[in-house]
Amino acid sequence: MKKIYLFCSAGMSTSMLAKKMQDVADAHGLDAQIAAFSNNKVGEMVDREHPDCILLGPQVGFMFDDINEKYGESAPVGVIDTGDYGSMNAERVLKYSIVLMKKFAAK
């Protein structure tokens, strides 16, 4: 099972996006667990759950360099596209996470 974790400042809209992404993954028979958390939980969730992909909401994209430096060796880190986030395009965000994981695995 692939764990795809989304992090943002408040968590409300990101939780909705994570739910929609889970629905898309389930519809395609993908073995994935997709969940959203507040950005102040990144360290705790990465250390405890070891996600396969870390996605940051656009509003916390400024944290990318720091989070990638700390956790980029254990999982790919990406920032969700603002347009995909705003339109709640769960399929595109899920595809983005799969591309990140494939590139990471190919390293």
Active-site positions?
8
Size of the chain in residues = 107
Report yes or no: 12 and 38 within 8 Å, Cβ to Cβ.
no
- Among 54, 50, 67, residue whose Cα is nearest residue 97: 54
